[in-house]
Structure formats: structure tokens, C-alpha cells
């Protein structure tokens, strides 16, 4: 066998052995990061059975809530704080309009609609059952007015008129709703209509509603003001926002109520205190007063007993990893956005971030490539786990540089 073939065989064998070695690094917090709060984190694995909900580590238990299902979510970190029957399918009633609004906001941002556009009210929209804005058939109403009718007054007629404006018909719009639900990973959600009227397969879960609400808040914050309006008058008919928390807590600025006889009284609420935002989901309460009281209890408990702190700023490396056969000897690995974690109050200094990735890292490497995971633990319980990405491109070294590394890897 020639010297060159022998060398290549030895090199491949060594790489095959090395590639099975996984490096685990306990990493330090970003000392320069702001410990207050704000923004985005990955949610896709937050409800994994291998993770511990932070509420389970609190010395103060969750309040006793009068609801069939409930959930509390920290918007900044994306972590579920605590939940009860959160994956049990329920009727969303008018909470359906959160998805409808998401698609309307998306149409506005992509200039398929404007707030000044006038929508012709169809007979079909006018005849929609349930709560109403009291628009009249064959008249023109602006998108801005219809949004207030849908969000503040919970008008089913306004909702269908908006659905028709975007998709041409409500059935076509419902197809878009279900496609968007799939895109967001809302696995237990299916819509039959845009307004929330009961249907045999018109179902969702408290978990899916929380994720949808977080996405709406993060993707379209410029439209949140609609949800904090306490009343709206159209056609000389004034209707109050059904979210009573707008009157009882000034930090609450949304989000949506729902009620049918079969669904019970439901409320997705959100509040911002300092720089931290929380979403609560209450489903299946027996009265308006009950859903309001339970929502406030859950919000207060979530704010008072937990902190959300920043571990790393955007594109800040969690660990610096050795790179083989590259123009650079090392590269930063981390998450692509700011990383926040929610912990029981006062427990921030006790968290342990751990980077797990497979060695050797061989050039070329592309920025954004996933090479492992970053987990955050407290008291040996994993609170969250996020993909670990390469934070910069690393080009392959020249022939001489690669040869040197092929020798070095034998002794590393």
C-alpha cells in the first residue's frame, strides 16, 4: 500500500473514532449582559417531557384556579411556568380570533391590506351568529374599524368580513388558519371557522393558545394597542371590551376573551411589568368573574415568584470550540438570539448552562449550522434546552494547514 493511501486510511480511522466523542462544557454567564429582560427565545422544546417546569421548583405553589385547563408562560424566555391539563383539547370559542388577528396583521405587514382599505360587508358576514359589531350588509367598513369590532367588541360579523377581505371567503381563510397553525407547531389545533362558533372539530389546547399568543405578541407588537382599548362605538352602539382585567390591573394590555355554553368562560390575558411579559390562559371557567379572578391570580403568582434573566446577548458565544483543518483554530458556539431563562425568584446565580457538542469540529463550518445543544439547569433539573449553533463561518485551511492538523489530531 502506498504511503499516501496508508496515511489516508489512518486519518479516516482516527476521525471515525474521534467523531464519537461528545464534548460537554459548563459555560459561564455573559458578564456584560443586561440582567433585566426582553425578547426572544426558542420555544419548540419548551414543553418536552425531559424538561422541568420552573413552577415545580418554586417554594410557593401555583394558586388554586377555577378552570378546566390553565397555563402560564413567560414571553421573554418562552418557558411554561406552570400548567394544568394544558394538552387536553378544548373549544376555543372567541379565542379563535387570536389566530384570525394574526393572519390579518400578517396581511397588513405584507401590504395585502391597509388599515384604510374599505371592505364591502357581505350578506354572509352580516348573518354570522353570535356576538356582533352590528355592521350592515352591502356597506363599506374600513379594516381599522373591523379590527376594533373584532378585537374590542368580539364581533363575529366583523371577523368574517375581515376573513373574506384576506382570502375571498371564510372557508378559504380557514384553510390559511390551519396552515398557519401547522407552521407554528400547534399540533392539537384545528379550526372550522374564523370567529369561534362551536364545531365538532373546532378544537385547540391551552398550550397551543399560549404559543400562538406569544407569537402574535412578538411578531406584531405594533397592533397590541387594539387589545387594550376598553370600549368601541360603531353605528352609535357602544360596547365594552369583555376583558375585565383592563379595568382592574393597569399592567394588563390584552388579550382575548371567549365564551360559549359548551366552552365555558375563557380568557387569554397578558401583562407587562417592568420589562417582563407573561401570558396566562384560563379555559372552562363557570363565570366571567371566575375567569377574571383566576387570570389575575395566575398573573400575579407568575410575576411575584419568578425572575427572568438574560444569560447571553444575541450571537454571544456560550463556549469557544476547537476547529480542525480550518483557517481559524476556534469558533464561538451559542444560540442565535438573546438567551433568557425563567427561574424561581432569587435563584439566578444558581443556574448552570452546559454546552454539548460532538468533536471533532471539522472545517469548513457555516454560520448558523447546528452542532449540538445548550441546556440550562437548576438544582440538577434541566429547565430549557436550545440548539447550539456555529456563530461564524470557518473556511477550510490550505493543504499545509490541513496536513498539520491531521498530525495534531493524532495527539490531541
The grid coordinates of residue 329 equal: 483554530
The pLDDT, as a whole number, for residue 36 is 26
The pLDDT, as a whole number, for residue 145 is 98
CATH topology identical between 3-46+310-411 and 64-304: no
CA count, 13 A, side-chain hemisphere, 359:
18
The pLDDT, as a whole number, for residue 231 is 98
Nearest alpha carbon to residue 268 among 292, 241, 248, 233: 292
- CB neighbours of residue 344 within 10 Å: 20
The pLDDT, as a whole number, for residue 407 is 67
The pLDDT, as a whole number, for residue 26 is 63
Q: In what order do the strands lie in the sheet with 264-273?
A: 80-84, 69-74, 276-285, 264-273, 252-260
From 58, 77, 94, 294, the catalytic residue: 94
Nearest alpha carbon to residue 212 among 52, 299, 296, 103: 103
| CATH architecture designation of domain 64-304 | 3-Layer(aba) Sandwich (3.40)
Cβ contacts of residue 23 below 8 Å, gap of 6+? 321, 355, 356, 357, 358, 359
The pLDDT, as a whole number, for residue 314 is 87
From 58, 77, 86, 97, the catalytic residue: 97
Structural domain boundaries of the chain? 3-46+310-411, 64-304
Rounded to whole angstroms, the Cα distance separating 354 from 372 reads 11
Contact 340, 108 (CB under 8 A): no
What DSSP designation does 328 have? S
CA dihedral 42, 48, 50, 52 (to 10 degrees): 70
The pLDDT, as a whole number, for residue 399 is 84
Active site residue 97: yes
Active site residue 297: no
Contact 386, 52 (CB under 8 A): no
From 154, 194, 285, 377, the catalytic residue: 154
The pLDDT, as a whole number, for residue 18 is 40
Active site residue 4: no
Rounded to whole angstroms, the Cα distance separating 129 from 343 reads 45
The pLDDT, as a whole number, for residue 358 is 85
Q: Which residues in the chain show pLDDT less than 50?
A: 1-22, 29-48
The pLDDT, as a whole number, for residue 315 is 84
Give the domain 3-46+310-411 fold: Peptidoglycan synthesis regulatory factor (PBP3), Domain 2 (2.60.410)
pLDDT digits (tens, 9 = 90+) for 304-339: 999 999 999 988 899 999 998 899 999 999 998 999
The pLDDT, as a whole number, for residue 408 is 74
Amino acid at each position: 500500500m502506498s504511503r499516501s493511501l496508508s496515511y489516508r486510511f489512518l486519518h479516516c480511522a482516527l476521525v471515525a473514532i474521534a467523531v464519537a466523542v461528545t464534548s460537554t462544557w459548563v459555560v459561564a454567564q455573559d458578564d456584560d449582559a443586561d440582567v433585566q429582560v426582553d425578547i426572544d427565545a426558542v420555544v419548540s422544546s419548551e414543553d418536552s417531557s425531559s424538561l422541568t417546569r420552573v413552577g415545580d421548583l418554586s417554594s410557593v405553589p401555583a394558586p388554586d384556579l377555577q378552570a378546566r385547563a390553565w397555563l402560564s408562560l413567560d414571553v421573554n424566555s418562552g418557558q411554561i411556568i406552570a400548567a394544568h391539563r394544558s394538552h387536553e383539547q378544548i373549544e376555543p370559542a372567541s379565542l379563535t380570533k387570536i389566530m384570525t388577528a394574526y393572519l390579518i396583521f400578517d396581511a397588513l405587514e405584507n401590504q395585502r391590506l391597509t388599515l384604510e382599505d374599505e371592505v364591502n360587508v357581505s350578506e354572509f358576514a352580516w348573518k354570522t351568529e353570535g356576538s356582533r359589531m352590528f355592521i350592515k350588509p352591502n356597506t363599506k367598513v374600513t379594516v381599522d374599524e373591523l379590527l376594533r369590532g373584532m378585537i374590542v367588541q368580539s364581533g363575529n360579523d366583523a371577523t368574517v368580513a375581515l376573513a373574506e377581505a384576506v382570502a375571498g371567503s371564510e372557508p378559504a381563510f380557514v384553510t390559511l388558519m390551519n396552515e398557519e397553525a401547522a407552521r407554528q407547531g400547534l399540533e392539537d389545533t384545528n379550526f372550522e371557522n374564523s370567529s369561534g362558533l362551536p364545531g365538532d372539530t373546532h378544537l385547540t389546547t391551552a398550550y397551543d393558545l399560549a404559543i400562538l399568543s406569544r407569537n402574535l405578541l412578538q411578531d406584531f407588537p405594533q397592533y397590541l394597542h387594539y387589545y387594550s382599548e376598553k370600549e368601541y362605538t360603531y353605528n352609535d352602539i357602544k360596547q365594552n371590551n369583555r376583558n375585565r382585567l383592563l379595568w382592574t390591573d393597569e399592567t394588563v394590555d390584552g388579550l382575548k376573551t371567549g365564551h360559549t355554553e359548551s366552552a365555558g368562560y375563557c380568557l387569554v390575558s397578558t401583562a407587562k411589568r417592568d420589562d417582563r411579559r407573561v401570558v396566562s390562559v384560563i379555559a372552562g371557567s363557570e363565570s366571567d368573574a371566575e375567569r377574571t379572578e383566576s387570570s389575575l391570580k395566575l398573573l400575579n403568582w407568575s410575576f411575584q415568584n419568578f425572575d427572568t434573566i438574560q444569560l447571553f446577548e444575541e450571537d454571544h458565544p456560550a463556549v469557544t470550540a476547537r476547529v480542525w483543518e480550518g483557517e481559524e483554530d476556534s469558533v464561538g458556539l451559542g444560540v442565535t438570539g438573546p438567551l433568557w431563562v425563567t427561574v424561581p425568584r432569587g435563584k439566578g446565580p444558581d443556574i448552570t448552562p452546559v454546552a454539548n457538542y460532538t468533536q471533532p469540529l471539522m472545517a469548513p463550518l457555516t454560520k448558523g449550522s447546528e452542532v449540538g445543544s445548550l441546556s440550562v439547569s437548576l438544582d440538577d433539573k434541566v429547565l430549557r434546552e436550545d440548539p447550539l449553533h456555529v456563530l461564524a463561518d470557518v473556511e477550510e485551511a490550505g493543504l499545509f494547514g490541513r496536513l498539520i492538523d491531521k498530525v495534531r489530531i493524532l495527539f490531541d
